[in-house]
Structure 1
Amino acid sequence: MFKRLQIYANEMYPVIPRLFISTLMVAVQYLAVLTFAEAPPIYQFHWEDLGIVYTVFAFLFLLRIADEFKDLENDRINYPERPLPSGRVYKRDLWFLGTLLFVTMVGINLVLPQPLGPFLLVIFYGFLMTVWFFQRDKIEPSLVLALVTHNPVQLILSFYVIHFVTYHYGLALWTWENVCVAIVLYIPALLWEISRKIKAPMDENQYVTYSQVWGFKGSLLAIVGIAAVGVLAAWILVYELSASVLLIVAYGVLLYFFYRYYQAPAGKNLKTIVPAYLVVHLSIFLILIAMLYF
């Protein structure tokens, strides 16, 4: 079983990179909330902080596993080489892994010094996603409706992290700065969800993509516009730093690679370009926040 799960993790959810991304997400929100508080408190490391990182990591991992079961029939047609459809990983393997992740995540949150409400909200929304909000016949055929109902889970997850920080340090929760921070973290999830379902016209098949729904050019313009919102939200928070121009530079590089992709898309995809940009964007934002804080 463990060898099969290793195969699954390596191909579908690489642990080290995903732990890094989860840590980066939490660090950005954590430091941003402290920085823009009316009276910024001094950050003190607590082991509970690692519990928040693990919760983000485990919850996103659980969503990945849930998608394996939700999309199994489609994956057998469109992605037969993946671990579960190919038979290299069994359903019981993923049930075991999912149960382990869920139990440990719940156990950690039961001992964290925080109200359980935000965590329960995350779990409840995740459950609704797994059952298609009890409207599978309407949501599953519509890529856009699935996006509108499922993708906001990142906002719920951001609320969970921001709530923990504000509760832990006795800070205000509902501030415009915290809303901007949540948007900065939401945009990467939205970009990734859309970009991974964009294909060049000659590479399209029966698998429904955003490039089919909005057209190839339209889907690329949608990503460019969404990324611009993320840059704007981040820049509003750090505009007083001259180094904030780095956010614009990174966005400009993204536009350049998108243009090249648009000019010659055959056989290419955005699975490298977009994640690389997102990591760079969040890393730059974290550095800028740290400059303001320290």
Structure 2
Amino acid sequence: MTTVALPRVPARLGRFVLRMFRPHIYVTYGLLWVLALEGSAVSLSGTAWRPTGSTWVRVVSVVLALLFLRMLDEQKDFAYDRVHHPDRPLVTGAITVAELRGGMAAITVVVALLNLALSWAAVLLILLALGYGLLLVALERLSAAVTERQLLNLVVTYPVQILLGLYVYLSAAASGLVTGDWRAVPLLALCACVFLHFEFARKTSWDTEPGAHLYSQDLGARGSAAVAAGLAAGAVVCEVVLFGSDGTLGLLPCLMAALPAWGTWRFLSARRGSWPLPVAMGFVLGSYLALVARAVVLP
């Protein structure tokens, strides 16, 4: 059992974060997701939107929650990583389970205290998301199928993303910033489709490797590509339902559909290699940036 001197722990956690939770990716994603979701929810209520102090509490809380889940995944995936990713920090000893759990405990305290400034509802909602992440550990220990079957794993693990989306929306509603109505459903579905398009795209490949966790190994390359393309199409449908009456500017997010359309064509025509990942990432970032721009300008 590895023991680490306490003064060294912050530096080791910092190196873990820089390597496994790359800020330019994860922080950017969390930031744009919260701004796009909150901004769209407020503007759909007919109110002009600008980020406030509460907005930044939600941003920091979601980013820290994503880091909490990344730390949890590092522990859950240890057996898999020993075979397929032997250079991962937990496998090499660059970080220990105790250090990761200490970081998770600190994150839990910080997000709880931050959200006390919003409401008790916000505290409960963010802790519910973290708690579901912990529940996944027990589920994967009880059922090997949850770990080994990629589609089942997605069904079981994705709800934590839904809970984080609900935290953003419902905490804004609890503060009176958002007037909740039926449009919450297509708005949350829009965010889900955007994320899941990227999730399927990054695990879609013509190549197969024994033991690799790819959707294309369960659905086939064409089947997995079809799901990825269908999710992008679903995002566009949600955008039309939500913003179709706003005119050209309201439909600006729909223009981002050109990226997954090109990615689908490129992947299917190549018949080798993996989905062009930068295109899938561009769809996520472009969609959320367009939603933020729309919320700032409209109504």
TM-score (norm 2): 0.86
5 Å matches for 1:221-236? 221-236=226-241
2: distance between equivalents of 1:77 and 1:133? Answer: 18
Which of 7, 28, 45 does residue 20 from structure 1 map onto?
Answer: 28
1:193 positional shift: 2.7
1:274 positional shift: 1.3
Which of 267, 271, 285 does residue 277 from structure 2 map onto?
Answer: 271
Where 2:298 maps in the other structure, the secondary structure is helix
* Letter in structure 1 aligned against 2:263: F
**Identical-residue share of aligned pairs (%):** 22
2: distance between equivalents of 1:44 and 1:272? Answer: 30
Closer/same/farther in 2, CA of residues 85 and 126 from structure 1, 3 Å limit: same
2: distance between equivalents of 1:16 and 1:157? Answer: 20
2: distance between equivalents of 1:8 and 1:89? Answer: 7
Native 8 Å contact 2:111 2:126 kept in 1: no
1: distance between equivalents of 2:237 and 2:293? Answer: 17
The 10-residue stretch of structure 1 (63-72 or 189-198) with the greater mean CA deviation from structure 2: 189-198
Q: Does 1:85 align with 2:91?
A: yes
Closer/same/farther in 2, CA of residues 8 and 265 from structure 1, 3 Å limit: farther
1: distance between equivalents of 2:79 and 2:141? Answer: 19
Closer/same/farther in 2, CA of residues 106 and 270 from structure 1, 3 Å limit: farther
In the alignment, structure 2 segments of 5+ residues that lack a partner are 1-8
Native 8 Å contact 2:42 2:177 kept in 1: no
1:210 positional shift: 0.7
Where 2:167 maps in the other structure, the secondary structure is helix
4+ residue stretches of structure 1 with deviation over 6 A?
none
Partner of 2:243 in structure 1? 238
Native 8 Å contact 1:33 1:166 kept in 2: no
1:232 positional shift: 1.1
1: distance between equivalents of 2:97 and 2:140? Answer: 23
* Letter in structure 2 aligned against 1:54: V
In the alignment, structure 1 segments of 5+ residues that lack a partner are none
Partner of 1:106 in structure 2? 112
Partner of 1:35 in structure 2? 43
Residue by residue, what CA displacement relative to the aligned partner does 1:133-179 show, whole Å, maximum 9, x if unpaired?
77433422321111111112222111111111112126433x22111
Q: Does 1:288 align with 2:294?
A: yes
* Letter in structure 1 aligned against 2:185: V
5 Å matches for 1:176-215? 176-201=182-207, 203-215=208-220
2: distance between equivalents of 1:172 and 1:243? Answer: 23
Closer/same/farther in 2, CA of residues 270 and 6 from structure 1, 3 Å limit: farther
2: distance between equivalents of 1:244 and 1:265? Answer: 36
TM-score (norm 1): 0.88
Partner of 1:4 in structure 2? 12
Native 8 Å contact 2:204 2:216 kept in 1: yes
Where 1:169 maps in the other structure, the secondary structure is coil
